[in-house]
Structure formats: C-alpha cells, structure tokens
C-alpha cells in the first residue's frame, strides 16, 4: 500500500532539501550560473534584489535537489506500477528526460508532502502502533526478553547473525562510497559519456551488492526452512538485531514472525510484524498473510478476514506477473484459514490438494490426517 511509503518519501524530500541548501547556498555551488539565470528570467530591478538576498540561493538549491529527489521517487513508483524495465527508464532519463523529471518533481514537492502527511495519518495500523508503544513492546530488547521467557535461546547460533551483520555493513559502505563517487561525477564532470559510464558501473555494483547481501542471509534462512529449527533462526536474527543496535524494528521480520508462528506463539509474531515497515516491495503480502496466520492461531476470525481484505486492497494496482502470483497465493492461504474456521473442509481439502500437487508430495494421507487432526 502506498501509505507505507509516505514516511520514507517525506524524509527523502527533507534531507535532499537540506543537502541542496548547503550545496548551493553555503558552499556556493553554481553561484554564477544562478545569478545569470536570475538576470535573464526576471526584470532587472527584481533580479538585483534577489541576487542580494542570500537566502534565495538556499531556497533555490533546496528546491532543485528536493525536486530532483521527488521526481526520482515518483519515477520509481511509475516503474513499479507499470513494470517498466530499469534500463529503458535509464536511457530516457539521459535522453532529455532529466529536465522533465526535475521540473515535475520541483512543481509537485508541496503536493507530495501534503499527500504523504495524509497517508501517514490514515495508515491502517497507526492506532495499533501507538497501542504497542504504550505497552513497551516496540523495542527489540523487550520482544527478545519475552521470547526468552517462553522459548529456548540457542547461544551457539549468535555468531551466525553477527557475521551476517558485519558482512552487510561492508556491503553498505561500498554502496554509499559508490553513490558518493557517482554524485561527484555528475556534479563536476561535464562529459555525458563519462557520466553515463559511471551510472552504468554503479548500477552493476548495486545489483551485485544486493545479490551478495541476500546470499549472506541464506544460512540464517536455511535454519528455518531446511533444518526446521525456528529457535536457531530466531536466535540468529536477535543477534543480528543486537549487533546492529536495532531499537524499534527487526531485520528479517518476515522470517522472525514465521519462527514465532511455528513455535505457536502468535502474540510475539504479531508484535514483530506490527513494529515492521510494511511497504517494502512484496513484504506487504507476507505481512498480511502472517498476520492472518497468527490471528488464525488465536481463533479471531474477524481479524483474519480484515487482513484478507487489506491484502486484496494492497494488491489492487499490481499488474506484473510475479507480484500477481504472490498476491494470489497469499489470498488463497488466508481464504483457506477462513474455510477451516468456518468448518468448510471440502474447500480446504481442495486447497491442500492443489498445494501438494505443486510440491510433488503423496498428499492423500497427509490431507486426511491434517483435516481430521
């Protein structure tokens, strides 16, 4: 849902505005160009007054950079909405689209902030977040403390989480170093070909770093899926969070919540999910699916139905193949839980047969035992 992206969008605009004000106002970047532009754009008397007003350079710089950031964020949403390849947008960006994106972004900065504030105020689980905050369960340390009271904390797996955090820190440092290098090239190199090569190299670096970061998390994930050891997986994730000094949100919230579900602790699963950002990619579908599973374990049909409806709304504008498939699978899984709670076992039997056919399992005995049990 777009509302979960609002806080990030506002923060990007504000940070970029400050960066632009410092760059153009405090550091005097492109001061002569801005002066000549003002003289050409407005009457001479007004231009003279504006040139003398020092705050104008801060304002112009802030609007320029925040407009560019806003335009790029809007462009990202368009790419996600219509499933446009990155390379196509990259070429359009340098084939004259830069000025258009900058102009649209600058003109829509104020409306974008207003829409984002509305989205933040009307986010579905905003009241739930306040409730958890009052009960002091938003802290990582508190959730871990409650976990230790009910389940085993396997110290032997702590090193796995710490090692993954250290590796990801190195990848993030490389990512930001490359980003700074590209920004310097864009600001100080006038050759279009050099800028193009720098952007291409950074794109390759970005995808490679993302791939390696995902690979570094596989040993932790395999504890849950391959070794069926949710306590070991949860321990590694807690260690990762402590090493990163996380306070209010967990790394790998989907997998940690699954650990709690497998350990038959739906309350902790809900706590983990409620303190996580739901707007990242397809995590919104996993969020509603796991929330529905947790409330199914608690026997709360109304909340299971609520998350079915929210999952359906979240995917209303998804039109690409993989995301549609993820959405359909999540909705089928939640609907199966509703059927089980309504004792509609025939529909549940059909759902389980369909799932087992995909996994090459001898399903007849397992289904009968599952439903009868």
Q: What is the pLDDT along the chain (373 residues), one digit of tens a residue?
A: 567 788 889 999 999 899 888 887 777 766 776 677 666 666 766 766 766 777 788 888 888 888 888 988 888 787 766 666 666 666 666 666 667 888 888 899 999 999 989 988 887 655 555 555 555 545 688 888 899 999 999 999 999 999 999 999 999 898 888 888 887 787 777 777 887 788 888 888 888 888 999 899 999 999 999 999 999 999 999 999 999 888 778 888 999 999 999 999 999 999 888 877 665 555 788 889 999 999 999 999 999 999 898 888 775 555 556 777 888 889 999 999 999 998 888 888 888 888 777 665 444 444 444 444 4
* 110 and 217 part of one domain: no
How many other CB atoms sit within 10 Å of the CB of residue 211?
11
User: What is the total count of domains within the chain?
Assistant: 2
* 87 and 143 part of one domain: no
Cα of first residue to Cα of last residue in the chain, in angstroms, is 37
Is residue 352 situated within a structural domain? no
∠ CA 80-82-87, rounded to 5°: 70
Distance CA 63, CA 183 (A): 17
- The pLDDT of residue 363: 45
Distance CA 353, CA 273 (A): 29
Is residue 151 situated within a structural domain? yes
Is residue 159 situated within a structural domain? yes
Is residue 69 situated within a structural domain? yes
* 135 and 52 part of one domain: no
* Of 319, 316, 349, 346, residue with least CA distance to 331: 316
Is residue 65 situated within a structural domain? yes
- The pLDDT of residue 369: 45
Largest CA distance in the chain: 88
Is residue 138 situated within a structural domain? yes
Domain-ending residue, one of 102, 120, 138: 120
* 70 and 163 part of one domain: no
CB distance 204 to 86 below 8 Å: no
Is residue 77 situated within a structural domain? yes
Domain-ending residue, one of 103, 120, 137: 120
* 202 and 226 part of one domain: yes
* 93 and 144 part of one domain: no
* Of 3, 173, 6, residue with least CA distance to 73: 6
* 148 and 214 part of one domain: yes
Residue 153: domain span = 128-250
**What is the model's pTM?**
0.68
* 172 and 87 part of one domain: no
* 94 and 8 part of one domain: yes
* 135 and 196 part of one domain: yes
Chain centroid to Cα 249, Å, comes to: 12
Q: How far is CA 225 from CA 15, 286, 328, 362, in A?
A: 40, 16, 22, 20
- The pLDDT of residue 321: 63
Domain-ending residue, one of 69, 104, 120: 120
* 201 and 101 part of one domain: no
Helix (H) or strand (E) holding 119: helix 109-121
* 17 and 92 part of one domain: yes
Is residue 312 situated within a structural domain? no
């Amino acid at each position: 849902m777009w509302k979960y992206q609002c806080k990030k969008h506002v923060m990007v605009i504000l940070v970029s505005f400050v960066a632009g004000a410092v760059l153009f106002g405090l550091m005097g970047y492109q001061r002569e160009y801005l002066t000549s532009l003002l003289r050409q754009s407005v009457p001479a008397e007004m231009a003279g007054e504006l040139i003398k007003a020092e705050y104008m350079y801060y304002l112009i710089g802030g609007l320029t950079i925040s407009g560019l950031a806003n335009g790029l964020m809007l462009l990202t949403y368009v790419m996600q909405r219509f499933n446009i390849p990155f390379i196509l947008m990259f070429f359009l960006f340098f084939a004259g689209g830069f000025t258009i994106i900058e102009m649209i972004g600058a003109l829509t900065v104020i409306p974008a902030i207003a829409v984002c504030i509305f989205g933040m105020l009307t986010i579905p689980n905003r009241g739930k977040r306040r409730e958890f905050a009052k009960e002091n369960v938003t802290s990582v340390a508190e959730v871990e403390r409650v976990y230790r009271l009910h389940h085993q904390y396997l110290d032997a797996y702590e090193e796995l989480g710490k090692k993954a955090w250290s590796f990801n820190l190195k990848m993030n440092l490389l990512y930001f170093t490359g980003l700074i290098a590209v920004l310097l090239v864009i600001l100080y190199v006038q050759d279009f070909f050099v800028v193009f090569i720098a952007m291409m190299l950074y794109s390759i670096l970005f995808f490679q770093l993302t791939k390696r970061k995902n690979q570094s998390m596989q040993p932790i994930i395999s504890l849950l899926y391959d070794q069926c050891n949710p306590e070991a997986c949860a321990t590694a994730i807690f260690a990762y969070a402590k090493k990163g000094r996380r306070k209010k949100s967990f790394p790998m919230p989907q997998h940690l919540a699954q650990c709690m579900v497998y350990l038959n602790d739906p309350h902790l699963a809900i706590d983990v999910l409620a303190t996580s950002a739901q707007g990242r990619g397809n995590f919104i579908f996993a969020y509603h699916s796991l929330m529905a599973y947790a409330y199914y374990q608690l026997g709360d049909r109304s909340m299971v139905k609520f998350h079915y409806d929210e999952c359906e709304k979240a995917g209303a504008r998804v039109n690409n193949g993989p995301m549609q498939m993820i959405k359909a699978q999540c909705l089928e899984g939640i609907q199966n839980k509703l059927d089980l709670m309504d004792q509609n076992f025939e529909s549940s039997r059909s759902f389980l047969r369909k799932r087992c056919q995909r996994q090459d399992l001898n399903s007849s005995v397992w289904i009968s035992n599952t439903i009868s049990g």
